[in-house]
Structure 1
Amino acid sequence: MDTKEKAVEALEYIEKGPESKPKPGLSEDDREWLAQIDAREQNRIYHKVDRRLVPMLALGLEASLGMTGDDYNVALVVFFIPYILCEVPSNLLLSKFSRPSVYIGILVTCRVVIMTMSGVTQSFAGLLVTRFLIGVFESGFFPAAMWIVGEWYPPQKTQTRMAMFYLASAASGAFSGLLAAGLAQMDGLGGYEGWRWIFLIEGIVSVVIGVMCFFTLPDSPTKASWLKPDEAKFLELSHIAFREVKTTDLEDEKKHVNWGILKEVMTDWQLYLQGVVFWSNTVPNYGLKFTMPSIIRNMGFESTTAQLLTAPPYTCGAIAAVLSALWADKLSWRMPFIVAHQLMLVVAFSVLFSFAAEIQNNIPLCYVMVCLACIGLYPIIPGNNSWTINNLAGAEKRAIGIAFMIMIGNSGGFAGSFIFLERESPRYPTGFGSSLGFATAGILAALLLEFLYWSHNKRHEHLTEQEAIAQYGEKELEKMGNKSPLFKYSL
């Protein structure tokens, strides 16, 4: 089979999908033009987008404040309240901006200014106020980033890009340990404690990145001056073929709020199950993220050494997220890779739960299990988000639906903020036990999703487009979205 024949075959898959159901939106001339773009050229164009889009998305305390008991946990919850409640309104607002870069630039800049203020606050009450405001402005960034990835890339390329973005979270976990160890040596410099220098230095760097978003974050292929006309045309037509909507066809939708879409999102059963899958990451992740230095200190290491030893687990998680995404995108199959990593969590937390009380006698085993926990944690979210956004019909529903699912998933941050309690050190029965339970629940949710998606596809596989139009009508089928018998869920 020559290159052109492969391109035609790929285009037929793009337009018809694995069930040979044709998708509307492309003219005959457009289809013929797309057929001339071979796989190598397609990859070159997407890699060009990678260099512009993904890096910009990726860039994107206790004793000094008199915090005692559960005060630190309370500070985390104060952050999560606005962080969760503002995610859907934020993406709803984002969908009305003709330039997403402006909206994201506002979010990032406001967030880092307030974060910098956290570094100079002198009271626990002041910390709570700044944490609340950080939650407000940070809430919209992650859902917005996930939506933007879905607008630039086809379904079989989303998870790898989401993993590269989420890689920044794992990398920041590794780097923050190294940074904290270094800045701890600045304690007392200029009259500030070491932890305040972390907020100040990270804040200054982040302000620069926030301002860069206004100018360097690409909005759409038609507005990207760094794309050649043919490259922009390819991305635009591919988006129509994959997502069934033009990126420039949304101007009318930007003028008003479609409350029907909001209702459709809130009654979509899959989003609640995807939220449970998300919980299998957020609950143990948020708890482990803020207590890992303490867990490693319980192994007998000094504070600075404990901070340095937090880097390898996050590095392992980052590598696992990318490798898992590459295979999931290659096979266009999400569930096995999500469940496999959830099973790693179950193993890791089971061992830690069993041996944490005697952690100093089992240091190598427990440290390996901490690494295994990170390997299990970090691939879940890219797979979960990709699985979700690929199964939402329509640009506006994707914007609101992904934010709604992430809102449900991030509510696990409330639990994650309170499960690892200092008074339960070193065994942390509540922390390890709860993490084990949520990981198990996530496995069951992922398996149920796979079964329900497969059942829907199987139930309607023999229905032709002509039969569906005769039964429902074209306009009604469009309105039905995910409920349409022609809609095929991505596994």
Structure 2
Amino acid sequence: MDSPNPLLFELPAHPLPLTMMEKSEDIESGKTASVDSSSDFRRAVEDPAMEKRVWRKIDLYVLPIVAMFYLLSFLDRTNVANARVAGLQTALKMTNKEYSIALTVTYVPYIATELPSNLLLKAVGPNLMLPTMLTIWGIVTTLQGVVKTYSGLLACRFFIGLFEGGLFPGLVLYLSYFYPRHKMNLRVSAFFSSASVSGAFSGILAFAIIKMNGVGGLQGYNWIFILEGLFTVAFGISAYFTLPRSVDKCWFFTQEEKNYVNARLLEDEVRDEAGFSWREVIEATKLPQVWFLAVAYFLDGTVLYGLAYFTPTIIQGLGYTAARAQLMSVPPFAAAFALAMVCAYISDHFRCRGIITIASSLLCVIGFAMFLGSKSQAVQYGSLFLSISGTYVTAPTLSAWGSNNAAPQTRRATAIAIGFIMTNSGGILATWLLGSLSPAPRYTKATVTLLIFSVLMALFGAINLFYLWSQNKKKAEMRKATTKDQEDPGVGNHSAWYIYNL
């Protein structure tokens, strides 16, 4: 069990707030719940059996739903790559440029909705907002399977982006309602790694679904959209009944367990604000660590979406048939999932987000260098194991790292949203890099660009690591000269007692 915070014993003897906020309002009854006493808080934090039980329950009841949300998000956004290989581009008579435009159209509303949706999440309630988003984009994905024209495809891609846009930053923020900072990376990686699972799963699904070519007068690529979209709709509807709004609403917790989790979340925070504040939105934009990581997010987004959208096409360019290319895309994504989970455990256990970011970025460098420098089909295919694994380790690590080092909640929500706005801006660049600016099958210009971006990812990871380390040194000196009670309320991550996660 983690060692109790020594500052814990300075807490007042009056009832403590229940959640990471100053209060947790019971939405249905309007009542405010609270932990029984500070002595209960101390006993809870010192209870190893409780410590193990509560996180296991959240891992069992909440995390799988979150992971499935993101798997379906990634699957429904990127299955256009499998559909392209299965005949979409030919059927709609699209040029490579028009294909890139179709992908880009997805990201315009996607980026525009990320910050407002994250700020709305708490007000609307994640148990309502997230399933609604999932259900609506599932309907649009299904309709994408019956479009007959290029303009129809563009309309569908726009609305998929509109309703998916707030999901990933929303899920990261949602998990921060349940887990302390040092437990976040493993959980974020667990649900983000479902993206790599979707990369593998989509290849297997596409291989099977395209055998339905001709059924109902539709081509195989039509059925890819229809069947995967219908499953998303069904899961979205079921999530209304399974996704808890907050710790206080977790049906699987006893009251004692709710008190324990909320006490741990409170211990992890520094004077959180009770509601939305535009001042905190602006404050988030002033944090250097937000912008160091924002650059890394953009770089990694370009690499990530470049590989997500074009891996089947890249493999087909190595000489494999369309059906074979679908299957050959599975192993690199499966390897990425395994490595991401191992690195997430290391990152959480040793609290070394920066080192993992640098190492995984360098893995991408090696992969792209291999693809660029070799003419061997086997080596080029093998390089995908390194580049895909590297970027699928980097992305969740950056997500957890950014979430870990901004507080209070509105400031954190804004920081997370900024990161994902930059990630998806990189996605726009990726659609053009491999879509029409760099010819297949070698993709030389794109590969050189992605190699350079991978080097820069490692560099900005190192810059952020050094900055946070230097700030922690300054905070250590500040703690010698002041007490926690002397700080102004609402300082959040600027508090001398808020130690940045490295």
1:436 aligns to what? Answer: 451
Aligned to 1:401: 415
- 1:37 maps to 47
**Are the structure 2 counterparts of residues 179 and 245 from structure 1 closer, same or farther at C-alpha, using a change threshold of 3 Å?**
farther
Ranges in structure 1 where 5+ consecutive residues have no aligned partner: 1-6, 17-21
Change (3 A) 1:266 1:158: same
Q: CA deviation at 1:81?
A: 0.6
Deviation at 1:89, TM superposition (A): 0.6
Q: Is 1:11 aligned with 2:4?
A: yes
Deviation at 1:465, TM superposition (A): 6.8
Distance 2:332 2:380 in 1: 12
How many residues are paired up? Answer: 461
Q: Distance in 2 between matches of 1:310 and 1:384?
A: 25
Q: Is the 8 A contact 2:270 2:498 kept in 1?
A: no
Is residue 325–residue 383 contact of structure 1 (8 Å, CA) maintained in 2? yes
The answer (yes or no) to whether the contact 2:207–2:327 under 8 Å persists in 1 is yes
Query: How many Å separate the matches in 2 of 1:138 and 1:15?
Result: 40
Change (3 A) 1:460 1:243: closer
* Shift of residue 267, structure 1, vs aligned partner: 2.2
Matching residue's letter, 1:10: S
- 1:301 is paired with a residue of what secondary structure? coil
Please state if 1:448 is matched with 2:463: yes
Conservation of the 8 A alpha-carbon contact between 1:353 and 1:432 = yes
Deviation at 1:233?
A: 1.2
Change (3 A) 1:326 1:395: same
Given the alignment of the two structures, is residue 364 of structure 1 paired with residue 374 of structure 2, yes or no?
A: no
Which residue identity is paired with 2:105? V
Identity %: 29
Distance 1:23 1:171, change over 3 A: farther
CA distance in 2, matches of 1:238, 1:101: 22
2:330 aligned with 1:311: yes
Q: Distance in 2 between matches of 1:208 and 1:245?
A: 40
Q: Deviations over 1:3-52 (max 9, x none)?
A: xxxx6x72236849xxxxx67867532333224411x4312210111111
Pick the aligned partner of 2:122 from 83, 95, 114: 95
Structure 2 distance, partners of 1:297, 1:445, is: 34
The answer to whether the 8 A contact 1:84-1:407 is kept is yes
Q: Which amino acid aligns with 1:376?
A: G
Superposition TM-score, scaled by structure 1 size: 0.89
Match of 1:272 in 2: 291
Partners of 1:335 and 1:450 within 8 A in 2:
yes
Cα RMSD (Å) of the superposition?
2.0
Asked if 1:424 corresponds to 2:439, the answer is yes
Please give the alpha-carbon distance, in whole angstroms, between the structure 2 residues aligned to 1:326 and 1:147. 20
* Number of the residue aligned with 1:480: 491
CA contact (8 A) 2:487 2:495 kept: no
Q: 1:466 to 1:414 in 2, by over 3 A?
A: same
What secondary structure sits across from 1:392 in the alignment?
A: coil
Distance 2:360 2:466 in 1: 19
CA distance in 1, matches of 2:403, 2:122: 15
Q: What pairs up with 1:199-348 in 2 under 5 angstroms?
A: 199-244=225-270, 250=274, 253=275, 257-348=276-367
* AA at the equivalent of 1:266: T
Match of 1:373 in 2: 387
- The 5 A counterparts of 1:153-168 are 153-168=179-194
Within 2, Cα distance between the matches of 1:408 and 1:13? 38
Say which of 28, 43, 60 aligns to 2:38. Answer: 28
Residue 170 of structure 2, aligned match among 136, 139, 144: 144
Deviation of 1:474 (Å): 3.1
Deviation readout 1:315-372 (Å, 9 max, x if unpaired): 00000110000011010111111111100100111121222xx3xxx12211111111
Comparing 342-351 and 423-432, the one that deviates more = 423-432
Deviations 1:153-177 (A, max 9, x none): 1122111111110121111100111
Q: Closer, same or farther in 2 for the Cα pair 1:11/1:224, shift >3 Å? A: same
- Provide the TM-score with structure 2 as the length reference: 0.87
State the Cα distance separating 1:195 from its structure 2 match: 0.8
Runs of 5+ consecutive residues of structure 2 not aligned to the other structure: 18-36, 70-87
The answer to whether residue 160 in structure 2 is matched with residue 134 in structure 1 is yes
Deviation, structure 1 residue 230: 1.4
Structure 1 pair 456–36 and aligned structure 2 pair: CA distance change class (3 A): closer
2:59 aligned residue: 50
Runs (4+) of structure 1 exceeding 6 A deviation are none
Q: Is the 8 A contact 1:15 1:242 kept in 2?
A: no
Question: Matched residues in 2 for 1:63 and 1:338: separation?
Answer: 39
Which whole-Å CA distance do the structure 2 matches of 1:83 and 1:116 have between them? 19
The amino acid across from 2:423 in the alignment is G
In the TM superposition, what whole-angstrom CA distance separates every residue of 1:69-119 from its partner, at most 9, and x where no partner exists?
Answer: 31111011100111111100111111212x311011111111111111111
Determine if contact 1:76/1:417 at 8 Å carries over to the other structure. Answer: yes
Partner of 2:108: 81
Listed one character per residue, the Cα deviations across residues 270-328 of structure 1 (whole Å, up to 9, x for unaligned) are 11111222234211221122221222122221111111000000000000110000011
Give SS of 1:393's match.
coil
Distance apart, 1:438 and its partner CA:
1.1
DSSP 3-state at the match of 2:62: helix
SS of 1:179's equivalent in the other structure is helix
